[in-house]
Amino acid sequence: MNKHSWQISVTVVLMFLGVLLSLQFKTQQDILESLANQKTEDLVAMWKSLEEKRNKLENEIRVLSEQHRSLVYQASEGKTYYKNLEEEIRKLRLVSGGLEAQGPGITVTIEGNSPVLAIDLVDMINELWGSGAEAISVNDHRIVATTAITQVEDEYSYYITIDGERLYYPIVISAIGDKNALEKGLTFPGGIIDNLNSFSIHPRIAQKDKIVVPAVKALQKFQYSTIKEEEE
């Protein structure tokens, strides 16, 4: 019986395929007969209806494609906008002292035997700003617009403070910018260094390829200032 089982299986499959082919042939014949029995006007109307549907679908595809391109463009523009915005925010934080800065520049070192005053320190810092410095620190203090440099005196001595913290020697001013321009801003004849030398203060200037200026220890908190609204 096993010997003829494959023959039975093949016979069943062939019969099944025959039935499917017969049904498919009959269906095609029914469709052709149905179309053949249609009037010419009906066939033309059917063709026009199909043509209209096809055109409508093509228009929808075109509109959707344009919307897709528009969305892709807007997404791309949005990414560029936010990337540029983030970069501008980083630059503003860098300028305001909110971020650590690094770059070429100079250091100005003042030893402990120099009778430097707070006003001397302010003059050197202002000269560096005027010479194009982009970031300045004194020891570990970032210098920004709100930095307070003062001199505290008692009966026997005095010392300098930055934002209320005592400044210890050696005092090292670090400035990022064009190295030659920064040094020339301090050392031109009759300038701040010549003036300090006359009082036995001899700052040591060194050009550096890389200087790191720390971020401010605490950003200023505004209690009274607000952003001015644009007038209509």
Is residue 110 a part of any domain in this protein? yes
Domain count for the chain, please give it: 1
Q: How far is CA 7 from CA 85, 101, 197, in A?
A: 78, 87, 117
Quote the pTM value.
0.62
List, for residues 159-213, the tens digit of each pLDDT value: 999 998 999 999 999 999 999 999 999 999 999 999 999 999 999 999 999 999 9
Is residue 106 a part of any domain in this protein? yes
Q: Length of the chain, please?
A: 232
DSSP string, 131-168: TT-SEEEETTEEE-TT--EEEEE-SS-EEEEETTEEP-
Is residue 183 a part of any domain in this protein? yes
List, for residues 62-96, the tens digit of each pLDDT value: 777 777 777 777 766 666 766 766 777 777 776 77
- Supply 204's token pair: 């040591």
- Give me the domain span that covers residue 140: 101-213
Is residue 44 a part of any domain in this protein? no
